[in-house]
Amino acid sequence: MNGRIETLADPAALAHHVADWMTSAALATKGDFRVSLSGGSTPKALFALLASDPFIGRFPWSRVSWFWGDERFVPYDHPESNYRMTREAMLAKAPVPPTNIHPVPADGTPEDAAARYERILQAAYGAPVLDPARPMFDITLLGLGPDGHTASLVPGEPVLEERRRWVAAVSHGRPEIRITMTYPVIESSRRVAFLVSGQPKAEIFKTIRAGGSDVPAARVKPVGELIWFIDRAAAGEA
C-alpha cells in the first residue's frame, strides 16, 4: 500500500497522537498553514481535543485556515453537516479568526456550490492551476469508509476520473448529494493523513494494505507524505 502506518491503541489514543502531530507540524511552519478537514466520529474527537487543554494554548490558531474535503449538501445547521460538527467540536471553542474558516457553500444548486468552492480554493492558493512544487494544503485529513470511499470519492462514480475540476458535486451513490474535492486537490498536500478506527474498517483496511486494491482510498497518491493513523481494531489487532 501507499504510505506509512502508525498504529495506536484505541480511538482516544489516535486522536491524541494526531492532535500532537498536527500541532507540531503547524508550529514548525512559518506563515499561513492550510488544513483540509474530514467528517466522522474519529475526526470529531480530534477536533474536540485540539480545542481543549493542553492543545488550545499551543496551537497557532491565528495563522491556520480551515477547509473541508467534502460536505453533504445540507444547511450549515443540519445535523449531518460536517461544518456544523467541526464548528461545535472545535471552531466555536478555539480562537479561530472567522476569516480563516472556509466552509463549502450550502445554497444554490450543488453544481453552483461546487464551482464557488473551487473559486474559494483557487483564491486561497493564488492560482487556477496546481503546482506540484507548491502544495495547496499543509495537512489533508481523510477518512475511510467500509466500501473504500474517502471524502466523497465514491466507488463507481464519474468523480473518480475528474482531473480538471478541483471540486465536484456527487449526486449518486449516497442518500444525499455530496460536494467533494477531487483527487488533484486532495493530493496537493504536504501531508495526507487517513484517520481510521474501529473494527468495521478492518476488512477494507486489510484489503488496501495487501496492495492491488482499486478502491478510491487506495488511489490517493499525494505530492507529499501519506500516513495512515489507525487504531488496533481497524488494524485487525483487537
Q: What is the pLDDT along the chain (238 residues), one digit of tens a residue?
A: 889 999 999 999 999 999 999 999 999 999 999 999 999 888 999 999 999 999 999 999 999 999 999 999 999 999 999 999 999 999 999 999 999 999 999 999 999 999 999 999 999 999 999 999 999 999 999 999 999 999 999 999 999 999 999 999 998 766 789 999 999 999 999 999 999 999 999 999 999 999 989 999 999 999 999 999 999 999 999 6
Answer yes or no: are the C-beta atoms of 39 and 178 closer than 8 Å. no
- The pLDDT, as a whole number, for residue 100 is 98
Quote the CA–CA distance of 221 and 43 in Å, as a whole number: 21
- The pLDDT, as a whole number, for residue 173 is 62
Residue 31 per-residue DSSP state: S
In sequence order, the 6+-apart residues with CB closer than 8 A to the CB of 153 are 159, 160, 180, 182, 183, 186, 216, 217
Quote the CA–CA distance of 58 and 172 in Å, as a whole number: 42
Domains of the chain: residue spans and CATH: 4-55+62-231 (3.40.50.1360)
- The pLDDT, as a whole number, for residue 2 is 84
- The pLDDT, as a whole number, for residue 132 is 95
Answer yes or no: are the C-beta atoms of 128 and 98 closer than 8 Å. no
- The pLDDT, as a whole number, for residue 1 is 82
Answer yes or no: are the C-beta atoms of 196 and 228 closer than 8 Å. yes
